């Protein structure tokens, strides 16, 4: 879902982030993406901000729960977090990585199931990535389910 500039500003303010022109560009680029983006992919989309500026913004966004950082085996990908504040992620969902085309998909309708941890452990974040073949790759060369 593509956000307008004003929606990006509102989202950042809810997360305790001062909206700047560069931060708005990065949030807007993430909102326009069909799937989570890597740092390199963001750099290709935004010519006016250098890699270190994008990385610093993503780090801030992650600290304030404005982006999810997804380790998908090929590096880290980022997507806008739809949580309502900077305290915690309330929209954690499963991701799917296609082993053929390499694309990572958000499965927003499938929440990450709760994990019962032993006493004394406090979770901070969770990431669940299922790997296999996306519908497009599966239809081009079907393989049996696992």
Q: Say what the pTM is.
A: 0.74
Q: How does pLDDT run across 121-134, given as a tens digit for each residue?
A: 988 777 888 899 99
Q: Where do the structural domains in the chain lie, given as residue ranges?
A: 5-140
CATH number belonging to domain 5-140: 1.10.10.10
**144 token code pair:** 């049996």
Tell me if 36 sits within 8 A of 107, measured CB to CB: no
**pLDDT value of residue 71:** 81
**pLDDT value of residue 129:** 86
**60 token code pair:** 């801030």
Q: Say how far apart CA 45 and CA 105 lie, in whole Å.
A: 19
Q: How far is C-alpha 108 from the geometric centre of its chain's CA atoms?
A: 11
């Amino acid at each position: 879902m593509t956000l307008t500039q004003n929606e990006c500003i509102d989202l950042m303010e809810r997360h305790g982030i001062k909206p700047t022109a560069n931060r708005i560009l990065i949030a807007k680029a993430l909102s326009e993406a069909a799937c989570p983006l890597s740092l390199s992919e963001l750099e290709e989309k935004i010519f006016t901000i250098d890699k270190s500026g994008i990385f610093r913004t993503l780090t801030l966004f992650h600290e304030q729960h404005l982006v999810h950082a997804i380790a998908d085996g090929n590096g880290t990908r980022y997507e806008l977090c739809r949580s309502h504040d900077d305290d915690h992620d309330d929209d954690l969902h499963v991701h799917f990585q296609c082993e053929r085309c390499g694309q990572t998909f958000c499965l927003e309708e499938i929440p990450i199931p709760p994990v019962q941890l032993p006493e004394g452990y406090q979770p901070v974040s969770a990431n669940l990535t299922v790997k296999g073949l996306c519908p497009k790759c599966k239809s081009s060369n079907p393989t049996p389910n696992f």
